[in-house]
Structure 1
């Protein structure tokens, strides 16, 4: 086994173990799981969630989308594809609408199975169904009846997990395709720092979405495996390159980017910014999360 392969295998193991470590911190620490504590406790959890939102916002604009646009442009140029139609942006939009349609189908099926009680008032209306003035304020109740009615839903958390996992495969692929040990180490260190923050933020979102602990563990475990799988695929591709492999990767990156745009702007940020209290502080923590990721990107 040559030294380059040893370095890649070491990177594979390091990414797996550190991702598991940082991912299980929110899942195992009780304060992250308790969403019914004191006002101060809920404020702290909200600010952590805002920080995670800033992290995902930066990952969207500074990492996932630029990587995708660069890869798809390189592939189109290599294949001499010239068109005035914004093909790269269209693929991203397809990813966006794919999640939007899928989510609406899932929610519609839930309603057809008789789950409308999620949006019913705590006190039922009168016989004529016009008792609008006697029931409690649903905005303040535990029922999701306002604009953010599906905030932190397990479905959206799953889609967030899916898009991040797909991107992680491509990150690992970048390591596996390198042909010098120095470049492998350089990319691996950058991904380690980047992915540790991402998986911590993802774990916070899963915990706050009322996902069962066993499923949280499964999500984190699978997510931790994604980059190592990408490294393994990259090592294999070095031996036998597919003619259309890079183009397929670029298209999948575009779909993942569109998915990430949807989750960032329709799930993560609206949930915190639409909830009352500490608005300026929340914005500051979103900026803090964004700045941390921007700094890491600049350093990279």
Structure 2
């Protein structure tokens, strides 16, 4: 077995086991079941998420997008495809909008089926500071911004959130499975692990506080943990099939994965953390730290 394939398989099982381990911490520790989250608790998760945003930003801009643009250009040149239309960029945009459309469809279905009391955003964005809204400490307390609303106690909303987040994980795994060097596999695996750790941790807190039965919590976490390995397996299958059009397929999937990375970074992590009040300079520091760590790895490697 090739060393690259061994690294990908190790990344597959590593992501699976570590995601399950981190996800079951809130489900098994009493502190998470008895509290809605202290300021310290939310601050720590927020800083970790900012660090993950920097990691993802660097992985996308310094690794995935350059590699994808090189691969797609080579494939188009080998097939003598010449066009003034920015096809490589369009493929990335397609990956971005694929995830966006899928999530909006999930939210639309939830709004149509949910009772009126549950028709609130799953993921908080920027809150209005206009008249009639909370101000000062009340505004800060009203924004639970660790990727999800920790105060929305609804098993239905928890399921929809779980479904939306699972869609991301498949595309994240694709980015690992489609790589052709072991160093890239490890770098992207680190980025995904940092991001998915905070996501599965927060999702587990959400499930526990929504009153979901322990059996269903385990099922949710198990399925969610399998999503990235599933994406890795799909990417490996495309690489190993060695089809005549395999290079083009791989390049297109790389572009879709790059678009997904852009979505996660610019539509999820950065807006939710940087647009929320409090500790702005500290959040910026952790964002730059995450970017700097990945930039350093890229420079050394």
Shorter-chain TM-score bucket reads 0.7 to 0.9
Larger radius of gyration: 1
- Alignment-derived partner of residue 222 in structure 2: 217
**Gap change, CA 1:154 and 1:276, over 3 Å in 2:** farther
Shift in Å, 1:142: 5.5
Q: TM-score, normalised by structure 2?
A: 0.73
Asked if structure 2 preserves the Cα contact closer than 8 Å seen for 1:159 and 1:259, the reply is: no
Shift in Å, 1:206: 2.7
- Alignment-derived partner of residue 249 in structure 1: 250
Shift in Å, 1:82: 1.2
List alignment gaps of at least 5 residues for structure 2.
121-130, 151-157, 208-216
Asked if structure 2 preserves the Cα contact closer than 8 Å seen for 1:50 and 1:285, the reply is: yes
Distance 2:166 2:298 in 1: 26
- Alignment-derived partner of residue 190 in structure 2: 196
Distance 2:6 2:256 in 1: 30
- Alignment-derived partner of residue 155 in structure 2: none
**Gap change, CA 1:198 and 1:114, over 3 Å in 2:** closer
Asked if structure 2 preserves the Cα contact closer than 8 Å seen for 1:156 and 1:263, the reply is: no
Deviation string 1:48-84 (CA, Å, 9 cap, x unpaired) is: 1111111111122122222221111111111111111
Asked if structure 2 preserves the Cα contact closer than 8 Å seen for 1:119 and 1:143, the reply is: no
Query: Which residue of 201, 208, 222 maps to 1:207?
Result: 201
Deviation string 1:122-173 (CA, Å, 9 cap, x unpaired) is: xxxxxxxxxx96x9779556688x9x988994454223212202212202xx
Shift in Å, 1:270: 0.9
Deviation string 1:19-65 (CA, Å, 9 cap, x unpaired) is: 3344344324348x947333222211111111111111112212222
Distance 1:112 1:79 in 2: 47
Distance 1:6 1:83 in 2: 37
Distance 1:169 1:216 in 2: 22
Asked if structure 1 preserves the Cα contact closer than 8 Å seen for 2:166 and 2:227, the reply is: no
Deviation string 1:79-133 (CA, Å, 9 cap, x unpaired) is: 111111111111111222222222222222221113442357xxxxxxxxxxx96
- Alignment-derived partner of residue 289 in structure 2: 288
**Gap change, CA 1:76 and 1:51, over 3 Å in 2:** same
- Alignment-derived partner of residue 111 in structure 1: 111
Shift in Å, 1:259: 2.4
Question: Is 1:169 equivalent to 2:177 in the alignment?
Answer: yes
Report the aligned-residue RMSD.
Answer: 3.4
Secondary structure of the 2:255 match is helix
Q: TM-score, normalised by structure 1?
A: 0.73
Shift in Å, 1:295: 1.4
Query: Which residue of 11, 26, 44 maps to 1:15?
Result: 11
Question: Is 1:258 equivalent to 2:259 in the alignment?
Answer: yes
**Gap change, CA 1:57 and 1:14, over 3 Å in 2:** same
Per mean C-alpha deviation after superposition, the further-off stretch among 214-223 and 247-256 is: 214-223
Distance 1:245 1:208 in 2: 37
Asked if structure 2 preserves the Cα contact closer than 8 Å seen for 1:24 and 1:203, the reply is: no
**Gap change, CA 1:101 and 1:142, over 3 Å in 2:** same
Asked if structure 2 preserves the Cα contact closer than 8 Å seen for 1:165 and 1:223, the reply is: yes
**Gap change, CA 1:244 and 1:292, over 3 Å in 2:** same
Distance 1:106 1:10 in 2: 36
